[in-house]
Amino acid sequence: MSDATDEEGDGDAAAGAGTGAVAGPRRPVVRLKPKAGRRLAAGSPWVYADELALDRRTKALPPGTVATLENAERRPLATVGVTPGSTIAARVLDADPDAEIDVAWFAARLRAALALRAPLYDAPYHRLVHAEGDAMPGCVIDRFGDAVAIQPNAAWVDQRLAALLAALDETIAPKVVVLNAGSRARALEGLEGETRLLRGALDGPIPTPMNGATYMADLMGGQKTGLFYDQRPNHAFVARLARGADMLDVFAHVGGFSLAALAAGAASALAVDGSAPALALAEQGARASGFADRFAVEKADAFDALRRLAGEGRRFGVVVCDPPAFAPNRAAVEAGARAYEKTARLGAAVTAPGGFLTLCSCSHAVDLERFRAACAAGLRAAGREAALIRSGGAGPDHPAHPALAETGYLKALTFRLL
C-alpha cells in the first residue's frame, strides 16, 4: 500500500467507530504529519494546515469539529477545535485528549478568567475572556456591567454558543448578551459576519466608567465589541502627562486617550477621527463626564489633519496617535512600518518642545523592535530629538499566551520631544 493510500485509510478509521472495545461512535481524530509539531511541543496552541495529515476524511470535517489530536505515532496529544480549510487548522482547547467541551468545561474556563480579574477591577467593565490568553482560543468576551459582548472568531466557539451561554449564566448571569461577529478572522474560519442581540434589550450605548471618565460603548454598531479596553493603562499614563496641557488625540475612536486626559485635568483636548459615529460617542462621553466645554472633535483623515495643524503652527503639549492596524498580516509588514514612520513624523511636527508624543500599534505582525525603529526613523525625519520614557502594552485583562507572540499585539511608546 502506498503512503497516500495508507493516509486515506487512517483518516477513514479515525473518523469512524474507533478501535478495540469502545462502545458507540468516537469523536474524530486528526493526526500530525511525521516530524511536525515542533511549535506545538514548544507550547503553541495553534496547529497549522501544513502540519496536519489532511486526508479526505479530515478535509471533510465540518468547521468547528472537536477532535482528538494525535502525533504521527498515533499517541493522543490534546483536544482540538478543527477547521480544515483554515490556515490555523486546529486550535488546542485542552491538554486532556479526552476532554469534553461542554457547559462544565466553559464554566471552569470562565471561573478561571474571573479569578484573574477579581483583584484587578472593582467593577464589571473589562475584558473577561481574551482568547488564547485565557485558554479559550478564538473567543473574546467583554463585560459592560450587566451586558456582555461575545466575539466568536473561531468555528469551534461558534458551534457551541449554547453551551457558552449556559456557562455564562452559571458564572455571571448577564442580563444582556450581544453576539458581535463582524471580525475579519471569522471569514478565515468559513463563518459569516453578523451582530445581533442574543438576550435582553439595549436602548443605546452603555455608559462605561474608566480612568475617571465615562465612555459610551456601542455594542451593536461600534468597532469590535464596542470599546477598546486594552489601552486602559496607557490612557492612564498619558492622562498624568496631560495635566494642565492641551492635548491632541489622533485616530481617537470614542475618545479613549482624550477623555482620560480631560478627567485628569488636561486644559483641552481635540479628538480627530474619520468616523462621525465614533466622534459622536466621544462627545456623548465628554458630556456625561462633565467636561464637554474643554473637548472638541474634528472628522478628518488623520494624516490630512496633522499636516493642516502643523501648517497652522498648532502645537500641543501631549499628542497621541493610535491608528488601526497598518500591518494586519506578515505580507503588509513593510508597508505598515512605513506608515508608522509617517505617523511619527507627522505627530512630532505638532508636538510642542518638551511635550510628549505617544505612538501606538495594534499590528501583531510588526513586533516591538520593528515598531520602535519605525518610530525613531519618523522622529529623525521630523528633526526632533527624543527620549523614550515608557513602553506599554495591553492591560492585564488581555493576558498574552507565552508561546504565541500574536497575543501580545499592542504596543504604546511614549516619547518626550526635546
CA dist 245 and 70 (Å) reads: 59
- Angle, CA 288 vertex, CA 298 and CA 144 arms, to 5°: 100
CA dist 315 and 247 (Å) reads: 9
The answer to whether the CB of 213 falls within 8 A of the CB of 235 is no
Q: Determine the pLDDT at residue 267.
A: 98
The answer to whether the CB of 229 falls within 8 A of the CB of 239 is no
Q: Determine the pLDDT at residue 15.
A: 38
Residues 6+ away with beta carbon under 8 Å from 226: 142, 144, 149, 180, 205, 206, 217, 218, 219, 220
- Per DSSP, the residues of 216-239 read EE-TTTSSTTSS--TTHHHHHHHH
CA-closest candidate to residue 255, choices 271, 237, 239 = 271
List the chain domain ranges: 3-94, 103-199, 207-417
- Per DSSP, the residues of 316-377 read EEEEEE----S-SSGGGHHHHHHHHHHHHHHHHHTEEEEEEEEEEE--TTS-HHHHHHHHHH
Taking CA atoms, 273 is separated from 100, 236, 367, in Å, by 46, 21, 25
Domain 103-199 maps to which CATH number in 3.30.750.80, 3.30.70.20, 3.40.47.10, 3.90.1280.10? 3.30.750.80
Residues 6+ away with beta carbon under 8 Å from 116: 134, 396, 397, 399
139 has catalytic annotation: no
**Which CATH superfamily groups domain 3-94?**
PUA domain (2.30.130.10)
CA dist 143 and 7 (Å) reads: 46
CA dist 108 and 113 (Å) reads: 9
Residues 6+ away with beta carbon under 8 Å from 152: 138, 139, 158, 161, 179, 181, 186, 191
> What angle do the packed helices 103-117 and 161-171 form, to 10 degrees?
50
CA-closest candidate to residue 269, choices 193, 285, 340 = 285
Q: Determine the pLDDT at residue 13.
A: 36
Q: What is the pTM of this model?
A: 0.90
Asked if domains 3-94 and 103-199 share a fold, the reply is: no
CA dist 342 and 326 (Å) reads: 11
Domain covering 207-417 in this structure, CATH number: 3.40.50.150
- Per DSSP, the residues of 140-201 read EEEEETTEEEEEE-SHHHHTTHHHHHHHHHHHT--SEEEEEE--HHHHHTT---EEEEEES-
CA dist 126 and 232 (Å) reads: 9
Enclosing H/E stretch for 98:
none
Q: Determine the pLDDT at residue 221.
A: 85
Walk along the chain (418 residues) in steps of 10 and give the mean pLDDT of each run. 35 37 65 94 95 94 96 97 94 97 98 98 98 96 97 94 98 96 75 89 96 96 86 98 98 97 98 97 98 98 98 98 91 94 98 98 94 98 98 97 92 97
Question: DSSP alpha helices (H): ranges in 62-102?
Answer: none
